[in-house]
Amino acid sequence: MVNPNSSKPRLCREYKSRQGKGQALQAWRALGPGQLILSEVPLLVLPGIPTDVRSVDFLTSSLRGKHLQNGEMMLRALIDKKKISDHAIEKLQLPYGEDSPATDSESDSIHAALDDHVVHELTPKLSHNAFTHTEEVDGVENGITRVFEVISRANHSCRPNAVVEWDPDLGQGTLYSLVNIAEGDDIEIDYLGNAKDTLQPREGRRKLLRDNYGFECICPACGPLTMSTRKPSDDDSDRISAIDAYDNIDWRITSTLDIKQMTAANEAERRDQIDHLTTYIGLLEKLELFDGKIKDAYEARAKLHEQDYQIATTRVEYPKKTKLKRLSKQDPPEDWTHALKATMRVHGSDHRDSQSINKRCLKLRHESLRTNSLFPGQ
């Protein structure tokens, strides 16, 4: 079988970790932030579940912990319906990361030979190496789960140096570096992913990882102390503050607002949102969490600062009735520039999100020149 990724350069290599982590990925040269380490087509794709019907994590959570029996039933049904290829089953049956393909006769009988014991063994391998991303399919948000042959070998850290995303234009999963990675360093991603889980204190994260992945986390954010310049207690304090700020943010922010409906209370609330986002961004940077969470925060704050442009350029009574704190005329373009840099770390420069934000930056820089006179004292 031809490997569809064989022509793509890889900036990592697989190896057997000496720290009891099994297979791992290692940088074979020094990497800077936002470098594409690897892209590959998935080994298998599990069917999408509409996120407004069930949790985006339904597929992976159903394969773990107390839901394991349901996961085995789902896996058996997918295998029986030939929704999972022989090649994928073969790879999952191997100790993860080994390359010992079955013979033709063995491959032909893979489906027939899968008894309940084998399915029981395959289920945790599938769940421990799966990634779920939210995507729009025919106008409906779906959680689609994929397993990758190489990307899935990246180990976990609560302070990750890389991130896995799905690129719909490429039809491939991508692994990008978030920070500088030295030659020979392990490439580590955040298995928890969402803010509510990642920003839990150490013991909360460790419990989630034990329950869902079966290991005790000893990453730099979790200890021992010799592995990090920051004490876990300091890390916990910052994560608790970050989740408090996160909970106070209205993530439904848009770039436009109905100025005629604005009141002093609305304006105060809008300013509070900017303050919460500024606090949240500062804490994420302090925690060295440079994945999609900080990208989303910069985008949200940029939209709020863009609203100031709308207020400044609209001749209505509102600014006279309520004292409006003028921002620097550079704030919106600067925020979108930060959002662009954060997006390029996660997706690279050619991704549709990066291209869209870059266009927005250029548009706002042009508008900032046009609105200079509306910002007194600048």
Residues 333-370 pLDDT 10s: 788 899 999 999 999 999 999 999 999 888 877 766 55
Same domain, 42 and 177: yes
Domain that residue 121 falls in: 12-227
Residues 219, 277: Cα–Cα separation, whole Å: 27
Is pLDDT at 82 greater than 90 in this prediction? no
DSSP 268-293: HHHHHHHHHHHHHHHHHHHHT--SHH
pLDDT in tens, 235-275: 999 999 999 999 999 999 888 888 777 788 888 899 999 99
Res. 151 pLDDT band, cuts 50 70 90: very high
What does the buried/exposed string (b/e) look like for 194-221 if buried means 16 or more CB atoms within 10 Å of the residue's CB?
Answer: ebebbbbebeebbebbeebbebebebbb
Same domain, 145 and 201: yes
For residue 187, tell me if it sits in a domain.
yes
Same domain, 209 and 290: no
Same domain, 116 and 67: yes
Domain end: 172, 195, 227, which one? 227
Q: Which of 40-54, 207-221, 317-331 is predicted with the least confidence, judged by mean pLDDT?
A: 317-331
For residue 173, tell me if it sits in a domain.
yes
For residue 235, tell me if it sits in a domain.
no
Percentage above 70 pLDDT, the chain? 64
pLDDT of residue 265: 85
Same domain, 145 and 281: no
Domain end: 227, 261, 282, which one? 227
For residue 243, tell me if it sits in a domain.
no
Same domain, 77 and 143: yes
User: Of 126 and 205, which is predicted with more confidence?
Assistant: 205
Res. 330 pLDDT band, cuts 50 70 90: very low
Domain end: 193, 227, 261, which one? 227
Is pLDDT at 176 greater than 60 in this prediction? yes
Order of strands, sheet of 130-137, starting from the edge strand that comes earlier in the sequence: 44-50, 140-147, 130-137
Is pLDDT at 196 greater than 80 in this prediction? yes
Same domain, 181 and 286: no
Same domain, 177 and 110: yes
Same domain, 203 and 258: no
Provide CB contacts within 8 A for 87, sequence distance 6+.
Answer: 1, 43, 107
For residue 232, tell me if it sits in a domain.
no
Instruction: Find out whether the peptide bond into 332 is cis, omega within 30 degrees of 0.
Output: no
Is pLDDT at 160 greater than 50 in this prediction? yes
pLDDT of residue 351: 92
**What is the total count of domains within the chain?**
2
For residue 196, tell me if it sits in a domain.
yes
pLDDT of residue 190: 96
User: What is the overall mean pLDDT for the chain?
Assistant: 76
Given a contact cutoff of 8 angstroms between Cβ atoms, the answer to whether 27 and 154 are in contact is: no
User: Of 234 and 126, which is predicted with more confidence?
Assistant: 234
What does the buried/exposed string (b/e) look like for 286-317 if buried means 16 or more CB atoms within 10 Å of the residue's CB?
Answer: ebbbbbbbbbbbbbbbbbbbbbbbebbeeeee
Task: Name 144's bridge partners.
Answer: 133
CATH value at residue 160: 2.170.270.10
Same domain, 223 and 254: no
Is pLDDT at 87 greater than 70 in this prediction? no
Q: What angle do CA 93, 11, 39 make, to 5 degrees?
A: 60
Same domain, 19 and 163: yes
pLDDT in tens, 99-137: 444 444 444 444 444 556 556 566 667 777 888 887 777
